[in-house]
A = this chain, B = another copy of it.
Amino acid sequence: MTLAERLRTALGADAVITDPAVTSSYERDMMPLAPNGSPLAVVLPSSTAQVQAVVRICAELGVPIVPRGAGSGLSGAANAIDGCVMLVTTRMREILEIDADNRLAVVQPGVVNLDFRDAVEKNGLFYPPDPSSYDWCTIGGNVSTNAGGLCCVKYGVTTDSVLGLEVVLADGEVLRTGRRTVKGVAGYDLTKLFIGSEGTLGVVTEITVALRPLPHAPGTTIAAFPTIEAAGNAVSRIVREGVVPSLMEIMDATSIKAAEEYLKTELGAGQGCAALLLCQSDAGGEAARHELEVIEQVCHAAGADLAYTTHDLAEGQMLLQARRVVLTALELYGTWLTDDVCVPRTRIAELLTGCERISQECGLRIAVVGHAGDGNMHPTIVYDASSDDEFARARKAFDDILEVGLGLGGTVTGEHGVGKIKKDWLEREIGPVGMRVHRAVKAALDPGNLFNPGSMF
């Protein structure tokens, strides 16, 4: 039997796609810089046993497997390579359990982040990780990339919410990592080894997550600064004051202008506003009022022209709109290419200044939005996709931004991952000993290089 025949026998005909017109739609994620090849087949297993079957067939035939969720990634980690099988987890979309008394849930990898958030909210609980694509990305994809989001400044990234995993290994065996208890130190922390491994070590087939109590409805503070330095300074001072907001986002002048044009509103770009800071507190009552008062005072002291606080939920959401629409708004000017770099919180202004310089050098618009509370910035380069020259300049700017971030003591990826676009940068960041350990761990768990070969390193 051919590969496709064996896969169809194991999974059923409707779970195996080989028509190139259809498989092509599974070939790549949302990162325009990453290359992709053509898969031999796309498989959509609906159970752990079916995933095991796919892994065993592919291992036997020496066919590489690229695991994939919804394809919302921004690093090409889920892009096909020529002759691979794309293992798509979107049919494994059951929420298997919500245990409110132990504040945990068990889900399959294909559950959409937003669907899960909504389901646990009905139980008065909260699942923090909220990547921007939360309305269509999957929990499995979030686990693979250790996804972050706007919540991280207070609630951490995906790994901070995961208690345990079920993983199909390269030999088709099922590994269970972690546990259902809040604490546990029996053996190595294999759970966190698989989280963020970008599909290179196994296929995650079940995820046990820790939940939190539902926070209070947030209050919101917005502050406008005449200079980037003043805004960066405000971030440092807020951290120094010991306030932990539930959200702290920054927008530079280019982002503000784009949002103004898109929303047809005034956000201060015309009045010399160089940066906006948006903060929320979900501490509730007196505590939230106190936190936002401190933030407002600190913003004024750091030189803000304006700082405004509301405890009205709808008004707060309206203010946040400016931040949320930036990527969409940038499409008014061209195709966007978003970078992902994380620097120590005290170096944010320097990163933004560096991006301004790079923008001038490459002659392209670069808008910076980012999670100021944890130094994770997304400088976004706008270019004309029909121009090879502009694409080449955008690509160079993308690398130049990483160079600046690394030079500021940062990392080349705060939350999007390495994938197929930052392999050289991973090596630069972690050095030869780090690379050697990565290769040793990969070889120990996937000696035949079955899973996502050539991705990450």
B187, B373, B431: which contacts A176 (Cβ < 8 A)?
Answer: B431
Counting CB contacts under 8 A, is A173 at the interface? yes
B181, B285, B444: which contacts A344 (Cβ < 8 A)?
Answer: B181
Bound Cα distance from A173 to B244, whole angstroms = 38
Q: Which of A6-14, A108-116, A392-400, A410-418 contacts B (4 or more CB under 8 A)?
A: A410-418
Asked if B440 and A445 make an inter-chain contact with CB atoms under 8 angstroms apart, the answer reads: yes
Counting CB contacts under 8 A, is A103 at the interface? yes
Query: Chain A contact residues (Cβ within 8 angstroms of B): what range?
Result: 35 or more
Asked if B414 and A243 make an inter-chain contact with CB atoms under 8 angstroms apart, the answer reads: no
Bound Cα distance from A103 to B345, whole angstroms = 9
Bound Cα distance from A327 to B413, whole angstroms = 47
Asked if B100 and A240 make an inter-chain contact with CB atoms under 8 angstroms apart, the answer reads: yes
Chain copies in the assembly?
2
Counting CB contacts under 8 A, is A437 at the interface? yes
Bound Cα distance from A284 to B101, whole angstroms = 26
Asked if A345 and B159 make an inter-chain contact with CB atoms under 8 angstroms apart, the answer reads: no
Bound Cα distance from A175 to B431, whole angstroms = 9
Asked if B415 and A173 make an inter-chain contact with CB atoms under 8 angstroms apart, the answer reads: no
Bound Cα distance from A185 to B214, whole angstroms = 27
Max chain B CB contacts within 10 Å: which of A183, A185, A244, A434?
Answer: A185
Q: Are A187 and B434 CB-contacts (below 8 A) given A193-B193, A243-B213? A: yes
B101, B286, B410, B431: which contacts A346 (Cβ < 8 A)?
Answer: B101
22 CB < 8 A contacts A-B: A100-B240, A124-B242, A145-B185, A157-B183, A159-B192, A169-B437, A175-B433, A177-B434, A179-B342, A179-B411, A181-B375, A181-B414, A183-B376, A183-B415, A187-B429, A188-B197, A190-B434, A192-B192, A284-B287, A285-B286, A285-B290, A441-B444
Q: Chain A: residues with CB nearer than 8 A to chain B? A: 99-103, 124, 145-146, 148, 152-153, 157, 159-160, 169, 173-177, 179-190, 192-193, 195-197, 212-214, 236, 239-244, 283-287, 290, 342-346, 371, 373-376, 409-418, 422, 425-426, 429-431, 433-434, 436-438, 440-441, 443-445, 456-457
